[in-house]
Amino acid sequence: MTGPLVLVGGDEWTEGCDFDARLVDECGTDTVVVLPTAAAYEAPGTLVDRARGWFEAMDVRVSALPVLGRPDALDEANVRAVREARFLYLASGSQMHLRSVLKDTPLYDAIVEAWQGGAVLAGAAAGGAVLFDHMVDTRGGAFTVGLGLLSGFTMIPRFDQWSHDKVHRTVSLARQGMPVAGIESRTALVHREASGWTVEGSGTVHVFVDGKGTDLEALPVPRPPDVSSG
């Protein structure tokens, strides 16, 4: 059974992200493993400090893995820490850098294995968008290739900060029948195997199929790939 999948629109670890406390209780851990990889060139230490302040208020420790470049994703100590984690958090930042660091690495395989084993997998903004095979390039709203952990739909992070024209461009470029979920900041689209999709946090999730608004029922059940098959 996969663990909860948590797609956060952005502004993670700030007021309104009350879903984090519930997820900590669900997984029964006292440690959240944070990967600041996407913020490698955007003061990752500051982001980690914010995570520590946020989770320490819940009596939860943050273990920040120094995975900032591709060699770090090949390091066995980092791979082992991810594989053993019960709550993984991919921070926001540059989705292109995050993809280049994780793609086809043992650390990415460990992320998939941990989630397959029941760990919480959370990705904020870039950390969520990169998980899809059809990844929205937030610079212009077109599509590019992501890591391929999730297929059949995609997400627009920080939806509340997008213009109408940019949203229209992305939704119109989506292949026929593919849902696009626009997730607002401080908001999470959460999937649990027992209860399906829910929206948690301070904002809203907007779902589009073929250019028209619809509801959460249009979103497919997330199925991880078999990393053992190569």
The answer as to whether 224 is a domain residue is no
The CATH number assigned to the domain holding 149 equals 3.40.50.880
Q: pTM of this prediction?
A: 0.95
The answer as to whether 35 is a domain residue is yes
The residues with which 206 forms a beta bridge, in sequence order, are 182
> Nearest-CA neighbor of 35 among 157, 144, 149, 121?
121
The answer as to whether 91 is a domain residue is yes
Q: Tell me which residue range forms the domain holding 159.
A: 5-219
Please give the full DSSP string across 67-91, using - where no structure is assigned: --SGGGGG-HHHHHHHHT-SEEEEP
Q: Euclidean distance between the first and final Cα of the chain, in Å?
A: 21
In tens, the pLDDT along 168-220 reads: 999 999 999 999 999 999 999 999 999 999 999 999 999 999 999 999 999 99
In tens, the pLDDT along 65-123 reads: 999 999 999 999 999 999 999 999 999 999 999 999 999 999 999 999 999 999 999 99
The answer as to whether 77 is a domain residue is yes
The answer as to whether 230 is a domain residue is no
How many structural domains are present in the chain? 1
The answer as to whether 141 is a domain residue is yes
Identity of the amino acid at 89: Y
The answer as to whether 155 is a domain residue is yes
